[in-house]
Amino acid sequence: MRLLKGLAAAALLAVPAGTATAEQGVTDTEILLGEVEPLTGPPGLLGIAHNIGVKLAMAEVNAEGGIGGRQLRLIAEDDGYVTSRTIQSLKKLIGSDKVFALTSLSGSGQALASLPIVKAAGIPAMVPIGPLPPLYEPPNDNIFVVGQSYTEGMHQLALYLAKTYPGKKWGIILQDDDYGKALGQGIEQAKAEAEINVAYETTYARGQKDFASEMLRVKDAGVEVLIAGGIISENIAMVKEAEKLGISPVIATFWPGRVPEVLKAIGPASNGIYSVDYVAPLQSDAGKAFVELAKKYLS
């Protein structure tokens, strides 16, 4: 919420309350925000979660009187995790709706593709779903990346697994895009610091549903530690295929793989899966406090 307040408060620097303004997305009574994220399809679990968080932050701010007497309002666009739709939605939000700031640029690949548009527009933009280093290296004055980068997260996860399961054979299955590349870079960093024996490594195309071939090769290679580098449905499919083949390697996923809905879909095999995240789980004290806040402000 602090970052959301900061973005909205920036609107007041040049526009005092009670004055007419040509500032995009700011009126005497309102500050208009926009965001693009997947709200449908398997990745929609992440987009919907983000959207709920933004709505809760806005409701909390508005209940306290808004920003400088102005209420926050949000327009959310669903890109279905398709980059062309992300670009189309951003052009609508910036050029037609004329939002003051953006609270999401969708996933990592979509955010990278969006950079030229957002930098040219010059409006503040948050990237809370796909924190890739190229989004902030070098820094951009109007782009605010939230959370641990994919690369650093996988680096730490791989180091932990290497120290916890020394000498084991690894299998690595990553998505063939910027997300997968970032995870691969984290693994490479871990290799420089710990002994990691990769027996099988491959990539898959975004949206792939059948992992029978990949998991058969995991079995044939005698993989004992598996990095399931999918988003949502891919991780579920990999674990289910492992069950069918009667193999039970130690499985590690990235933070999308530990979303409660994903673990429920995996079933009992989710017990013992390793993951890394920078967001407090709902079962923690911070998570419970978030849920209580949501009950207060949201339906």
- Asked whether the predicted pLDDT for residue 14 surpasses 50, the reply is no
Number of domains in the chain: 2
Q: Which of 118, 88, 116 is nearest to 103 (CA)?
A: 118
Please provide residue 118's backbone torsions phi and psi, each rounded to the nearest 5 degrees.
-70, -40
Residues 64 and 161 in one domain: no
Q: Assess if residue 275 is contained within a domain.
A: no
Residues 7 and 127 in one domain: yes
Please give the full DSSP string across 123-163, using - where no structure is assigned.
Answer: --EEE-S---GGGTSS--TTEEE-S--HHHHHHHHHHHHHH
Enclosing domain of residue 261: 150-270
Give all strands (DSSP E) within the chain, no chain letters. 30-37, 71-78, 101-105, 125-127, 143-145, 169-175, 197-204, 225-229, 250-253
Better pLDDT: 141 or 258: 141
Position 13 confidence tier, pLDDT thresholds 50, 70, 90:
very low
Residues 138 and 163 in one domain: no
Residues 134 and 157 in one domain: no
- Asked whether the predicted pLDDT for residue 17 surpasses 90, the reply is no
Poorest-pLDDT segment among 2-11, 80-89, 221-230: 2-11
CATH at residue 264: 3.40.50.2300
Mean pLDDT of 62-89: 97
Q: Assess if residue 276 is contained within a domain.
A: no
Residues 90 and 17 in one domain: yes
The confidence score (pLDDT) of residue 15 equals 45
Q: Assess if residue 126 is contained within a domain.
A: yes
Does pTM top 0.85 for this prediction? Answer: no
Residues 84 and 124 in one domain: yes
Q: Assess if residue 143 is contained within a domain.
A: yes
The confidence score (pLDDT) of residue 227 equals 98
Residues 101 and 200 in one domain: no
- Asked whether the predicted pLDDT for residue 267 surpasses 60, the reply is yes
Residues 141 and 159 in one domain: no
The confidence score (pLDDT) of residue 20 equals 37
pLDDT in tens, 131-177: 888 899 899 999 999 988 999 999 999 999 999 999 999 999 999 99
Residues 134 and 6 in one domain: yes
Residues 6 and 142 in one domain: yes
Residues 173 and 143 in one domain: no
Mean pLDDT of 222-249: 95
Position 9 confidence tier, pLDDT thresholds 50, 70, 90:
low
- Asked whether the predicted pLDDT for residue 12 surpasses 80, the reply is no
Residues 287 and 250 in one domain: no
Mean pLDDT over the full length of the chain? 91
